[in-house]
Amino acid sequence: AQSVTQPDIHITVSEGASLELRCNYSYGATPYLFWYVQSPGQGLQLLLKYFSGDTLVQGIKGFEAEFKRSQSSFNLRKPSVHWSDAAEYFCAVDYNSGYSTLTFGKGTMLLVSP
């Protein structure tokens, strides 16, 4: 079955430190890849997406992600974390099934310490 793995349930980062959130997907062909962020009790906001081309994509709020086909990964990064980045982050994959559906990882909760 197609799946998306976010191996870290929680991550704590000091404010100003760098961040990397991991995401691996199970399918061999190149899917469409997304990172979303969710604040408590809110909907999801798209941070960035990858469809094709340059494997390093830039998103909003200073986030970037790199697609690595050989590792089936799409890790999210930020050079310097701000306290307002504390939220839950979801990696999602469109496996090009033709039905425009997304498969989500279980999420990584980011905690930012002062």
Partner 1 sequence: DGGITQSPKYLFRKEGQNVTLSCEQNLNHDAMYWYRQDPGQGLRLIYYSQIVNDFQKGDIAEGYSVSREKKESFPLTVTSAQKNPTAFYLCASSFSSGRSYNEQFFGPGTRLTVL
- Residue numbers at the binding site for partner 1 (CB under 8 A): 9, 32, 34, 36, 41-46, 49, 51, 90, 92, 94, 98-102, 104-107
Q: Which is closer to partner 1, CB of 50 or CB of 85?
A: 50
Collapse the DSSP code of 85 into the 3-class scheme (helix H, G, I; strand E, B; otherwise coil) and give the result: helix
Q: Report, in Å, the least distance between residue 17 CB and partner 1.
A: 25
CA 75/CA 37 separation, integer angstroms: 14
Q: Report, in Å, the least distance between residue 34 CB and partner 1.
A: 7
Q: What burial class does residue 67 get, using C-beta atoms within 10 Å of its C-beta: 0-12 exposed, 13-18 middle, 19+ buried?
A: buried
